């Protein structure tokens, strides 16, 4: 929601998409822009930024680096999502980058791994994906949103509080009006 209020054109586009689709067919697969907004949010603000720690059971070499047996490995999904080698304009919130791009957040595309990947991938992924599309889609569709008086989109505090899960350092304050 913070990125949507900071990028009002994205909110308008998402509203238009929902306007056209909801009421006829509420299928997530028919809401590519909403899907792209969620992917872009996962890319910039992964909820579990270092995934869960792993340990090397034996010495292994990966891309010329030797990982000793017993070493603890942290995978930095946050940094992968902002890698300028993979992503143009990596620090900007641009959902359009995912339109027509065959990159999913389900653990097969290693440039976007908000739920991890492999054997220990998040078992709640499918439930979470459904819930997030439902919740965000409903918030956009049923309410008009604005920031408190005196807060401009560009001055919104987007700093993050680091932890096992990533939070906004300052909670978002936004005002909904039922439509
Ligand atoms: C936005 C929602 C969620 C995100 C971004 C998320 C993300 C993650 C990530 C990154 C991991 C570590 C995967 C790895 O290291 O490869 C994980 C593990 C896990 N998640 Fe989620 N998760 C979410 C929702 C859920 C939900 C709704 C449930 C349960 C209903 C759940 C249950 C678990 C469990 C049990 C593990 C540990 C799996 C294991 O170690 O084998 N998660 N999640």
Query: pLDDT tens across 72-128, in order?
Result: 999 999 999 999 999 999 999 999 999 999 999 999 999 999 999 999 999 999 999
Using the mean position of ligand 1's atoms as its centre, give its distance from the Cα of residue 125 in Å.
Answer: 7
Ligand 1 mutation pick, 73, 108, 115, 130, max ligand atoms within 8 A of CB: 115
Q: What is the pLDDT of residue 172?
A: 97
Per-residue confidence band for 25, with pLDDT thresholds at 50, 70 and 90 = low
125 labeled binding residue: no
**Residue 48 Cα to chain centre, angstroms:** 11
Which residues surround ligand 1 with Cβ inside 6 Å?
Answer: 47-48, 51-52, 114-117, 120-124, 127-128
- In this structure, which residue's CA is closest to atom 37 in ligand 1? 122
Ligand 1 mutation pick, 54, 115, 122, 129, max ligand atoms within 8 A of CB: 122
Q: What is the pLDDT of residue 22?
A: 77
Q: Each residue of 141-155: pLDDT tens digit? A: 999 999 999 999 999
What are the structural domains of the chain?
2-178 (1.10.630.10)
When the pLDDT of each residue in the chain is averaged and rounded to a whole number, the result is: 94
Q: Give 152's Cβ-side CA count (13 Å radius).
A: 2
Using the mean position of ligand 1's atoms as its centre, give its distance from the Cα of residue 109 in Å.
Answer: 17
By the 10 Å C-beta count (0-12 exposed, 13-18 middle, 19+ buried), 1 is classed as: middle
155: CB partners within 8 A, 6+ apart: none
Mean pLDDT of the region 143-169: 94
Q: What is the pLDDT of residue 21?
A: 84
């Amino acid at each position: 929601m913070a990125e949507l209020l900071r990028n009002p054109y994205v909110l308008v586009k998402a509203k238009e998409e929902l306007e056209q689709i909801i009421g006829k067919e509420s299928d997530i697969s028919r809401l590519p822009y909403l899907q792209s907004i969620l992917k872009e949010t996962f890319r910039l603000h992964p909820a579990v930024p270092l995934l869960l720690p792993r340990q090397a059971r034996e010495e292994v070499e990966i891309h010329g680096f030797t990982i000793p047996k017993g070493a603890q490995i942290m995978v930095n999904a946050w940094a992968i999502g902002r890698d300028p080698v993979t992503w143009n304009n990596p620090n900007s919130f641009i959902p359009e980058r995912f339109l027509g791009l065959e990159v999913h957040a389900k653990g097969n595309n290693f440039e976007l791994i908000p739920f991890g990947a492999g054997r220990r991938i998040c078992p709640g992924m499918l439930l979470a994906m459904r819930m997030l599309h439902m919740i965000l889609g409903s918030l956009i569709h049923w309410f008009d949103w604005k920031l408190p008086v005196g807060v401009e989109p560009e001055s919104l505090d987007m700093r993050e509080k680091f932890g096992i899960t990533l939070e906004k350092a300052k909670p978002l304050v936004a005002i909904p009006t039922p439509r």
